[in-house]
Amino acid sequence: MRAVAGRSVREEKVEATREAILTAAEHLFAERGVYNVSNRQISDAAGQGNTAAVNYHFGNKTDLVRAIARRHTEQIELIRDRLVAETQGSTGLRDWVACMVRPVTEHLDGLGSPTWYARFNAQVTADPALYEAIATEPAASPSLLTLLDGLNACLPDLPPQVRAARGVMARHLIVQMCVERERALAAGESYPPAAWTDTADLLIDALTGLWSAPVT
């Protein structure tokens, strides 16, 4: 079988099929919800005549969700690696909050428009089982652990249970604000602020206030 850039024609075709399925599934999951979309609908949207294509390439739905998440989190991780390296040694709370926010907004900005990742991510994080399936790998990343160490060092007097609760609040605020902007852009609506970088600035300001708020 003829090779194409070091890979066989069959390998190229398999990779193209997988990418088509991932893109179609992400789009449908984002707009309809993970459990409201069948494998047949994904196969049709991906241009696959074989309705078993999703199962063949990805196994069950959780594996498919994990594969979609991974192709984004790998890119987000690269951005976080860079930002954390630039922030090493800082004692400024806002600097470490920025390392939480900007990897996501910078990644979404780089995808162009329309995008579906923010809405897909919101669907997944709202489901405990799916969230657990995708959260394991990012939670173990060295740059994320360094980020949390830097953040915690800025908040020595914050009780652990309050720190944990505000971490959950921060995650949800980042997810939902990105959803609002992504949805508006996909619909062709004007949505302040004007750019993803401005969205990041608003989130960083708000989350810095959240982390530094008094404890009752």
CA 180 from centroid of its chain's CA atoms: 14
Q: What is the pTM of this model?
A: 0.90
Q: Which residue in 129, 23, 141 sits closest to 71, CA to CA?
A: 23
The average confidence (pLDDT) of the chain is 92
Chain position carrying tokens 């984002």: 30
pLDDT at 3 over 60: no
Chain position carrying tokens 């999703």: 54
At 118-131, the pLDDT tens digits run 999 999 999 999 99
The arithmetic mean of pLDDT across residues 169-177, rounded, is 96
Residue that wins the pLDDT comparison between 6 and 110: 110
